[in-house]
């Protein structure tokens, strides 16, 4: 087997450990403390924000316009409308500001 194959396999095992590990740790406790539950409830917004904020900061006017439109659409529409609206604005804006 090549080195590449072993890198892929080890990477796959490492990734699966992250996906199952949090549950294995948490499930050892009988009851979940309210503060831990509050922390778990904060996970989606906390993690997803880190995937947006630095990218938004390093971006330009076209990307900002797309994000603003995404936010505005989110007040009324669903996820798909939000995504398509933001993507459309991005593609159009990029034709002008690169």
Interacting residues with other proteins (CB under 8 A)? 2-12, 14-27, 32, 34-57, 59, 62-63, 66-67, 70-71, 74, 79-80, 82-83, 86-87, 90-91, 94-95, 98
Q: Which residues of 42-75 are buried (b: 16+ CB within 10 A; e: fewer)?
A: eeeeeeeeeeeeeeeeeeeebbebbbebbeebee
Q: In the structure encoding, which two tokens stand for residue 82, read together?
A: 């939000």
Q: How far is the CB of 59 from other proteins (least distance, A)?
A: 7
Q: How far is the CB of 94 from other proteins (least distance, A)?
A: 5
Q: How far is the CB of 30 from other proteins (least distance, A)?
A: 13
């Amino acid at each position: 087997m090549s080195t590449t194959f072993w890198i892929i396999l080890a990477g796959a095992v490492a990734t699966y450990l992250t996906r199952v590990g949090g549950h294995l740790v948490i499930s050892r406790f009988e009851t979940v403390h309210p503060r831990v539950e509050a922390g778990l409830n904060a996970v989606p917004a906390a993690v997803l924000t880190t995937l947006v904020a630095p990218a938004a900061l390093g971006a330009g006017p076209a990307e900002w316009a797309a994000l603003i439109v995404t936010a505005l659409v989110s007040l009324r529409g669903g996820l798909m409308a939000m995504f398509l609206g933001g993507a459309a604005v991005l593609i159009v804006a990029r034709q002008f500001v690169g």
